[in-house]
Structure 1
Amino acid sequence: MANTKEIQKRMKSIKDTMKITSAMYMISSSKLRTAKKKLEEAEPYFFTLQSVIARLLRHIPEVHSIFFEQNTSIPEEEKRRGFIVITADKGLAGAYNHNAIKKTHELLKKGKNNKVFAVGEAGRQFFLKENLEVDKHFMYTVQKPTLHRARVLEDYVLDLYQNNELDEVYIVYTRMENAFSMITETKRLLPMKQEDFVVKQIPADTYQEEIRLAAPAEYIMDRVITSYVNGFIYGALVESYCSEQNSRMMAMESATASAKDMLFTLKKEYNQLRQAAITQEITEVIGGAKAKKRKQKK
């Protein structure tokens, strides 16, 4: 059994750890509020782009775009796929990184011609250790997601797709469903499906507006889609950042609660040892006093 000095040392170490976990909880809480505000501000822009694409397809369903071309001549196992995987730059966020990496591993089994675009240091280091093809020019952190950074990622991936170096592009990110549930999702960015934008059933009395195009329909569609992809990547970055901070808050809250339980147990053990030591001292004093009294009588 540990002595009182060892228990006091352990209690001090746990208290110091609690200060760190509590501070990390407060930092993540502040970052989460900021990220949520960014997401709320970006959502109207993203949904507007979706409606613009739907309007164009509704009026000009025959419009041609490389971003809608479905190449069915290539077997599934031979398609060249690119995966944008969003993880954190560090750990201490529960199962956040693990879930994103696990989902990516499942997708990589579809074929052998895969390329990973790792956003976040935790995922990048893991995939490199697994000897997977990680694009070394695609080295981005996930701290403070911005539209500019999303634009850089979008330009890089679209260049590969338009130059016929990739057949499909996917993004793996984490969406925060609520304060207690984070879901790792996969979205195929390219090529897109027209049916995902077109409303299947329109009521007969719905007003069908007329539109006038100041440029060729293909040109407008390509520009809108590139902005849509940029908006989706930005939304995924912010969603993942929110999920990361929320996961870290939950992990730090759980760690702080566990530390409190450990402190309670150690305090109880410390008090028992201290009480036993005091009782032993009292017993020794009483025993010494009795022995001295017996000696005086003799």
Structure 2
Amino acid sequence: MTASLQGIQRRISSTQSTRQITNAMKMVSTAKLAKIQRSGDGYRVYASYLQNVVAHLAKAHLGDVSGTLLETRAAKKIGYLVVTSDRGLVGGYNSTLIKAVMADIQQRQLSKDQLVILAVGGNGADFFKKRGFNVAYEYRGVSDVPDFNEVRGIVKMVTTMYDNEVFDELEVAYQHFVSRISNEVRVVKMLPVTTDDLEAKEENPDTVPPEYDFEPSPEDVLEVVLPQYAQSLIYGSILDAKTAEHAASVTSMSAASDNAEEVINKLRLEFNRARQSAITTEITEITGGMAALED
């Protein structure tokens, strides 16, 4: 076998090994996606009930109840909680999100001195730190299917920083899971909480809100419920982002496997043509040698 044919065979073997790896990674990501979707279904039921309770309280004209999470302050510092992945192999998942965050910052004409970055995920943390942004908090290593106990420290830190006026508004930027083949970038203002936002999220805004007998006072009820509500929003964003990450990984690994298959087919065609050419050359040489002997 000629050196050229051996080289093509080695490339076919190498590409087949790559395809096996990407197929395996696709299967793993598919399993993780299915698991986190089941977890997300449970969270959404809880979040829906919590949102409705707080929305009903808002409709009961309790929007003037004092509380740090309800206070609208002069926006001297804007916080951006940016949720990216720790690893690559997820296509444009991270780059698309970061571009959207930078575009939002530029549109609002915010300087670095006005920004406080809170990064969940290594890609976002590394990006902003390398460019000299104020990364006041970073968290790496969110598990593949995070539960609230794991993320509790993150959401508690975020709300505490807001309470301590490290920033005056919080924008949460993440990839929203739409389907297995589609994600959607979202940059959403989550703090301070406003009664307009609460009423907009109520499932049935036309229904008459229930009557409440408060024990203890409305202020005490909101003091407990509002932090839970704000934390549920942040946790939900992280859970949503992680779901979108797994979907992006499935899509990316599927595309890589398809590309590897295409390369293998092309190499096989190239190998067959090269082998046919080598055989033709050998036949020509043998025929020529026999003709020379006959002469």
Give TM-score scaled by structure 1 length: 0.90
Q: For the residues of structure 1 that align with 2:205 and 2:291, how far apart are their CA atoms?
A: 102
| Cα shift readout 1:116-161 (whole Å, capped 9, x = no counterpart) | 11111111111111121112x5323232322013321121111111
Report matched runs for 1:86-125 at 5 Å.
86-109=83-106, 110=108, 111-112=110-111, 113-125=114-126
Q: What's the offset of the Cα at 1:269?
A: 0.9
Matching residue's letter, 2:214: L
User: Which residue matches 1:66?
Assistant: 68
User: Which residue matches 1:152?
Assistant: 153
User: Which residue matches 2:133?
Assistant: 132
User: Which residue matches 1:168?
Assistant: 169
Residue aligned with 1:115, SS: strand
Q: For the residues of structure 2 that align with 1:188 and 1:219, how far apart are their CA atoms?
A: 25
Distance 1:207 1:114, change over 3 A: closer
Matching residue's letter, 1:223: V
Distance 1:122 1:189, change over 3 A: same
Matching residue's letter, 1:284: E
Q: What's the offset of the Cα at 1:175?
A: 0.8
Say if 1:67 and 1:222, in contact at 8 Å, map to a contact too.
no
Say if 1:142 and 1:237, in contact at 8 Å, map to a contact too.
no
Q: For the residues of structure 2 that align with 1:251 and 1:165, how far apart are their CA atoms?
A: 38
Say if 1:87 and 1:142, in contact at 8 Å, map to a contact too.
no
Residue aligned with 2:135, SS: coil
Identity %: 29
User: Which residue matches 2:184?
Assistant: 183
Say if 1:174 and 1:240, in contact at 8 Å, map to a contact too.
yes
Give TM-score scaled by structure 2 length: 0.91
In the alignment, structure 1 residue 55 sits paired with structure 2 residue 56: yes
Q: For the residues of structure 1 that align with 2:225 and 2:259, how far apart are their CA atoms?
A: 50
For the pair shown, which has the larger CA radius of gyration, 1 or 2? 1
User: Which residue matches 2:82?
Assistant: 85
Q: CA RMSD in A?
A: 1.9
Say if 2:121 and 2:138, in contact at 8 Å, map to a contact too.
no
Further displaced range: 107-116 or 220-229 = 107-116
| Cα shift readout 1:36-62 (whole Å, capped 9, x = no counterpart) | 001001111101111111111122433
Unaligned runs of 5+ in 2: none
In the alignment, structure 1 residue 5 sits paired with structure 2 residue 2: no
Aligned length: 285
Matching residue's letter, 1:142: V
Unaligned runs of 5+ in 1: none
Distance 1:192 1:202, change over 3 A: closer
Q: What's the offset of the Cα at 1:16?
A: 1.2
Say if 1:150 and 1:230, in contact at 8 Å, map to a contact too.
no
